[in-house]
Structure 1
Amino acid sequence: MAKNKRLFFALWPDDDVRGRLAQLQTLLPQAQGNWVHPQDLHVTLQFLGAVPANRQRCVHQAASAVQAQSFQLEITHLDFWSKPRIAWAGPEQTPPELEQLVKALGANLEGCGFPREKRAYRPHVTLLRKTTPAAAMELEAPVFWRVNHFVLVESRLGGEPPWYKVLDAWPLA
């Protein structure tokens, strides 16, 4: 019998970008927190949570119907959010193509019963969880990431990281 899967859509870096993102972790205080495994670094587009097997086909169809353009994502700074206690890296401004991708994906997923996110979309790569506040900083050398696809990822928490597994990918025009 098929089971629920914890799923989310994401931008998934290639090995070169992944290595540069992992290097950003060395700029953070090394003392405390839960480091995100380099193989798990990504930018979330939409978190779906536990998706029953009978809705997973709809999720795939929703993603396949997305029409969006490729774009350049420029990771320019490190920052900290106190509520979830995470240190993250992200762009100064969200590219309009990324905004359109998130909007199109959200609209398509509504047809599968997933509510639209009410908060404004803030693209970021989580580097460290459960950490103490760190000072925001602009990166001396931004990370340039040519984004030409998005992926569906399964979150498999527990055991040894990496905890995320890419299930499928869709190209951007």
Structure 2
Amino acid sequence: MRLFIGIELPENIIAELHSLQNLLRKKVRRGRFPSKDNLHLTLQFLGETSERKVEDIIRSLQTVSKLNFPFKLSFNTHLGSFGHKNPVRIVWVGVKGKVAALLQLQTSIVGSMQELGFPAESRDYHPHITLARDVDFIDKDFLLDQERGEFDMGQLSCFKIDNFCLISSNVEQGKRIYNIVETFKLIETDAECKDY
């Protein structure tokens, strides 16, 4: 099984991100845009995994979920990219809000997976949602202008993170399909916390 751990996004947030993808489509000659069903926030990629290990992974992630609390995030109002040449390898939108809580959750997950033999990535974790890949912009300065605030994406909503998922990734009839294997609810505090 090809597995990763990630955060599934609320439907209204997916709709906003899909609208953002449609804005991007008007600015490019070509690019590959993930299906809106596949938009998610990755926490750790596990890769090809023996089915025998899945129960251990689930038990370990259940422990992690009991040590982390819900929190709120929203998206930055500018785009970022990996690979600045045209075509751009990946165009993404980053997160803001309670990022420290997100990083704590991700660090807990990576630590628990290391105990099961899954190595941590050598590069720092950079939370983002991939909007497009291999993007050939009509205006090669578009991203630079956008990062300077010259392209208004509008305000994206704030949303609450109260769970994360173990997700399988398969190719079916030439399309990448994600399926949730297990969902892990973050522990709620007794007192209602408006900020998370």
The two structures have a TM-score, normalised by structure 1, of: 0.88
Q: Structure 2: how far apart are the matches of 1:85 and 1:123? A: 17
5 Å-filtered alignment, 1:5-84, equals: 5-28=1-24, 29-66=27-64, 67-76=67-76, 77-82=78-83
Q: Distance in 1 between matches of 2:97 and 2:160?
A: 15
Which residues in structure 2 correspond to 1:68-107 (within 5 Å)? 68-76=68-76, 77-82=78-83, 85-92=89-96, 95-107=99-111
SS at match of 1:7: strand
Letter in 1 for 2:128: H
TM-align CA RMSD: 2.0
Q: Is the 8 A contact 1:10 1:153 kept in 2?
A: yes
2:193 equivalent in structure 1: none
Measured after TM superposition, the shift of residue 144 of structure 1 is: 1.6
- How many percent identity over aligned positions? 27
Match of 2:170 among 156, 163, 170: 156
Which AA in structure 1 matches 2:9?
P
Query: 1 CA distance for matches of 2:91 and 2:63?
Result: 33
Instruction: Give the Cα separation in 2 of the matches to 1:68 and 1:87.
Output: 30
Deviation (angstroms), 1:110: 1.1
Q: Of the two, which has the highest radius of gyration?
A: 2
Distance in 2, matches of 1:57 and 1:24, equals 37
Amino acid at match of 2:74: E
Query: How far 1:123 moved relative to its partner?
Result: 0.6
**Contact 1:21-1:143 within 8 A present in 2 as well:** no
How many residue pairs are counted as aligned between the two chains? 169
Q: 1:130 aligns with which of 130, 134, 139?
A: 134
Could you tell me which amino acid in structure 2 is paired with residue 14 of structure 1?
A: P
Change in Cα spacing, 1:162 to 1:17, as seen in structure 2 (3 Å) is farther
Aligned residue for 2:58, secondary structure, equals helix
C-alpha distance in 2, partners of 1:78/1:56? 35
Q: Using the alignment, how far apart are the partners of 2:181 and 2:96 within structure 1?
A: 30
The answer on whether the counterparts of 1:94 and 1:123 sit within 8 Å (CA) in structure 2 is no
